[in-house]
Amino acid sequence: MSAPDGPVVLVTAVGEASGSKAAAAALACAGSEPDRPGLLIDLGGRAPRPTLVASAGARELEERLAVHMPEARAASRGQACHLGLPADASGIERLPAALALVRDSIGIVHLPPRLLQPVLAESRVRASGVLLRADLEGDRSLAALVVGELIGKGLRVAVLKRPLAWIPSRRALFGVLPAGTAGGLPDRVTERLLRQKPSCYGGQDDQRADTERTARQEWRGDASPRQRRGLHRDPTRSTGR
């Protein structure tokens, strides 16, 4: 089976940050449409249960998964479909087959940090971006290292600095948190990660430059006032004061 035409985004945590699964579910909601449901694959998560409210597209995707992957645990939830796979080599091996069933929609893979590199090494997954849930106050240096490495691989990267609040988190996990909803993912995150894949590898240089520029801007915005002063030249020095 071939890889999906839409974006494939990996979502994980940095350090002890919480809320990565809700962030992954919110991203799946943001990229879903009535006739093109997104797929959230949770490596190592609990078996998903269907909800009372689910779109026709999500139910159809659940049926496709049941036919092609009868041993997997799939459930339609709101506008998206959730799939549980083991957090081991067998789960990674089944990712390409599951993502191929998404067709022209999006595939979101939530995974523990230890599986990020093994999944990236699986060439058939062909991830287009990574969303990191990171608490920058305690893990800024670690997050910076991870972001730099991912950018070096040509991936779009976004950092979610705070977990979603309880109500938006619950709505996301139930598949009913559309893009732009108050309390949901910031627009900058969804716009960067849910863009269509480049049509050819020639666009990777521009993509990398754009990601690096945005990441630097975010780091400056997160810095403390004292840190921000170190990022720019002090105007008083030029006047000799």
C-beta of residue 210 within 8 angstroms of C-beta of residue 155: no
pLDDT at 6: 86
C-beta of residue 61 within 8 angstroms of C-beta of residue 76: yes
pLDDT at 196: 67
C-beta of residue 170 within 8 angstroms of C-beta of residue 48: no
pLDDT at 195: 83
pLDDT at 169: 98
Give 61's strand partners.
Answer: none
pLDDT at 217: 52
Alpha-carbon distance 14 to 69, whole Å? 31
Cα dist from 167 to 138, 172, 173, 177, whole Å: 25, 9, 10, 10
pLDDT in tens, 70-127: 999 999 999 999 999 999 999 999 999 999 999 789 999 999 999 999 999 999 999 9
Q: Which two tokens stand for residue 154?
A: 């040509």
- Which residues of the chain are modeled with pLDDT < 50? 199-211, 214, 219, 223-241
Alpha-carbon distance 204 to 129, whole Å? 12
Alpha-carbon distance 5 to 192, whole Å? 16
pLDDT at 39: 98
Q: Where do the domains of the chain lie?
A: 8-238
Alpha-carbon distance 104 to 6, whole Å? 5
What is the CA 44 to chain-centroid distance, rounded? 16
Side chain identity, residue 207: Q
Q: Which two tokens stand for residue 71?
A: 């041993």
The fold for domain 8-238 equals Rossmann fold (3.40.50)
H-only helix segments in the chain? 20-30, 56-68, 89-100, 116-121, 136-152, 166-173, 187-193, 204-222, 225-229, 235-238
